[in-house]
Amino acid sequence: MSRLWVVWLIAFLHGLASDAQAGVMTRASLQQRLPAPLVVGERDAQLPVWPIFRQDATATALAGYVFESIDFAAIPGFSGTPFNLLVALDPKGGFLDVQVLSQHEPVFLEGLGEAPLIRFAGQYQGLSLRQNIKIGSNANRGEERGSANVYIDGVAKATASVRILNQSLLSAALHVARARLGFAPGRDPALVARLRRDTYAPMHWDALLKAGLIRHARITLGTVEKAFEGSGVEQPMAGAAGETFCDLYVAYLNAPPVGRNLLSDAGWQHLLGRIDDGDHALLVIASGPYTFVGDKFVRGAVPDRLTLKQGELPLELRDLDLDDPLALPASLRGADAKVFRVIGPAGLDPAQTLDFSLRVTRDKVMVYPERISRSFALPYTLPASQLTPPDTDSKGWHGVWRSRAWELAVLTGALALLAVVLARPRWIVATPTRLARFRTGYLVFTLGFIGWFAQGQLSIVNLTALIQSARAGRDLAFFLHDPMTVALWAFVAATLVVWGRGTFCGWLCPFGAMQELVGQAARRAGIQRFKLHRALDAKLKGVKYAVLAAIIGLAVVSPTWTDRAVEIEPFKTAITLNFVRSWPFVAWALGLLLMNAVLYKGFCRYLCPLGAGLGLLGRMRLLRWIPRRSECGTPCQTCRHRCEYQAIQPGGAIVYEECFQCLDCVAIHDSPERCAPLIALRRDRVITIRPLPASIRSDA
């Protein structure tokens, strides 16, 4: 029956799938948010963006575009609902402004409040899509603000949430930049190979040619004439077919072996000062009767005879207007030599072949003149030794996993140890002292490392986010921004099938560990716990399933009410925010901990919606792994009376949905000193049978 319930729930959520949310801003509301002299224009007919103009006396210049991130990158946050950001970009891809329009992140709703999130978003102002924006140390702000790599401050306790905001913002902005600002379609400037800075070696011209750092193509008169055959514009040129029409050379000038050998030291520094980090300086030299510099070419312009493509991507070459002398061989002195720049946002990848083409155009004289062109290719591939491969997408989840590799390694080791202990518990349960010490030590690790340090507290919020994302038809990749949560859920999913709910609730829940440690301290202080009557205990254990059903229902219909309902969990207050929160939430968390001192893990057993969900999923458990004897329950009740969770029925059966896998009953089962059936079997123990006292016999 439980499996049918799970299947029905999945089908129900799938059937609720619908389109993602769209933006809500109007031209009037945008104008209110943008300061004068900025003026919002009419919404673009093809794209949900608004142009913004700057009024300057009688002139009106395009200042950029403004848009909502949710229209382009509806990446869910940890509530399952995407951030919606108001983003203003200037024509060069710089951020004029970033504002938070809406968000449902649990940590920013009540815990930290929205102020840290607003401050975080404000850091983007003045940065650019030309830069690789990373979350981390803010040390290279100020003078280094114009560099290709820039770091902005994160938000403590909300690392995963701000990374999702970062990805949402940059994905949406790149979409608009590609569509309206001429950025390369389908390419992210942060994900292309980079030129190495440590490859310089003294080399002369011929050595550069031999190394492939300079590429050469010789186009002859005969080659040109053959290309125009049958076009109607055959114009035989003076000279033999084998004579040179154009000698063409191309090179990556900002590759250190090229630039530092062809330029003087001052010229090299001048070149680096003229281009931004990530831009490409390409040297083109031509000699012969025909060159790439036409009669109408002006300095600083785009050449009309020379084109560059990479695959199907056309790239703009613009003259850098450099006059620094080049160390060229005698045969090329006096040749046309120009340095062209390709900006970083254009998406050029130096690891891929650059296809240069020299275009030759002739006029076909007719009533209506026609121009016919032919192109002569010169492919250029920079040697791999000059390149650094691109990093994995630092804007996405890959970089997050790399940055937390050591934490994941520690967690993996701890989970492996726990799996071995639970699968082979005999050594741990051999003595009560050994089990108590191991369990207490592991709970301290769970609270300190998994909870407070690594922020790995699993929560019902994870399930509501899954539901809301499924309902809106969104990708679930946002979970990958929190590697600790993903790793823990993977382990919990596997152990649910093997052992049931107890692995997480008994060993890996930081708030559960906190409760147990508080309970141990209370017992040392002499505070006595009490147990509820079995019937009342059974009824109260059903409450958490009602709480779970209510939260799931709200997740389907109302993100706002879901945000409020999940506060029944004290996890955010006690673990994520370390009790630094408004007093009602702190009082709730402390009240649950104090209740635990006299009623063992009352929240976990009676109220926790996550525990209820795991209990339902744990019904798919494959093993009844806790050993039982025929005497268990009839007549022996030792384990049942010792079970703090009241998860053993009078008949001796284990209620696995309520078992926290503490191993106490396993230790009793294996102990010749504590297990009554084993005690009865001991041959060296003699139980003396004495007759009843006379007074009792007479009463009978």
Q: What is the 3-state secondary structure (H, E, C) of 106-139?
A: HHHHHHCCCHHHHHHHHCCCCCECCCEEEECCCC
Backbone dihedral angles phi then psi of residue 171, each to the nearest 5 degrees: -65, -45
670 or 85: which leads in pLDDT: 85
Among the ranges given (93-97, 388-392, 395-399, 447-451), the one the predictor scored with the smallest mean pLDDT = 395-399
Q: Where do we find the tokens 């979409």?
A: 175
Confidence of residue 141 (pLDDT cuts 50, 70, 90): very low
How far is Cα 320 from Cα 300, in angstroms, rounded to an integer?
6
Confidence of residue 152 (pLDDT cuts 50, 70, 90): confident
Q: What is the mean pLDDT of residues 180-186?
A: 71
295 or 162: which leads in pLDDT: 162
104 or 508: which leads in pLDDT: 508
Strand partners, 371: 363
Confidence of residue 507 (pLDDT cuts 50, 70, 90): very high
Distances in Å between the alpha carbon of 664 and those of 70, 231, 657?
A: 51, 93, 17
Confidence of residue 697 (pLDDT cuts 50, 70, 90): very low
Report whether pLDDT(11) > 60. no
Q: What is the pLDDT of residue 153?
A: 86
Rg (CA), the chain: 36
Indicate the burial class of 345 (C-beta count within 10 angstroms; 0-12, 13-18, 19 or more).
buried
Secondary element (H or E) of residue 24 = none
Token output for 82: 């995407």
Residue pair 655/649 in contact (Cβ under 8 Å)? The answer is: yes
How far is Cα 609 from Cα 594, in angstroms, rounded to an integer?
20
Percentage of the residues of the chain whose pLDDT score is greater than 90: 28
Report whether pLDDT(145) > 50. no
Q: Return all residues near 535 (Cβ < 8 A) that are at least 6 apart.
A: none
Confidence of residue 5 (pLDDT cuts 50, 70, 90): very low
Residue pair 500/564 in contact (Cβ under 8 Å)? The answer is: no
Distances in Å between the alpha carbon of 278 and those of 274, 344, 445?
A: 12, 5, 45
691 or 291: which leads in pLDDT: 291
How far is Cα 601 from Cα 507, in angstroms, rounded to an integer?
13
Residue pair 248/288 in contact (Cβ under 8 Å)? The answer is: no
How far is Cα 263 from Cα 325, in angstroms, rounded to an integer?
7
**Three-state DSSP state, 360:** strand
Q: Where do we find the tokens 């525990």?
A: 611
Q: What is the pLDDT of residue 33?
A: 83
Report whether pLDDT(7) > 60. no
Structure-derived torsion over alpha carbons of residues 657, 660, 662, 665, reported in degrees to the nearest 10: -30
Confidence of residue 18 (pLDDT cuts 50, 70, 90): very low
Token output for 640: 């049942």
Residue pair 576/457 in contact (Cβ under 8 Å)? The answer is: yes
Among the ranges given (226-230, 265-269, 501-505, 519-523), the one the predictor scored with the smallest mean pLDDT = 226-230
Residue pair 306/355 in contact (Cβ under 8 Å)? The answer is: no
Among the ranges given (235-239, 278-282, 331-335), the one the predictor scored with the smallest mean pLDDT = 235-239
- CA 206 to chain centroid, in Å, comes to 47
Token output for 412: 């993996």
Percentage of the residues of the chain whose pLDDT score is greater than 70: 86
Confidence of residue 664 (pLDDT cuts 50, 70, 90): confident
Backbone dihedral angles phi then psi of residue 376, each to the nearest 5 degrees: -120, 120
Q: What is the pLDDT of residue 575?
A: 87
Strands 149-152 and 132-135: parallel
Mean pLDDT taken over the chain: 82
Q: What is the mean pLDDT of residues 168-187?
A: 78
Alpha helix segments (H runs only) across 124-237: 159-180, 205-210, 221-227
Confidence of residue 206 (pLDDT cuts 50, 70, 90): very high
Residue 119: CB atoms within 10 Å: 11
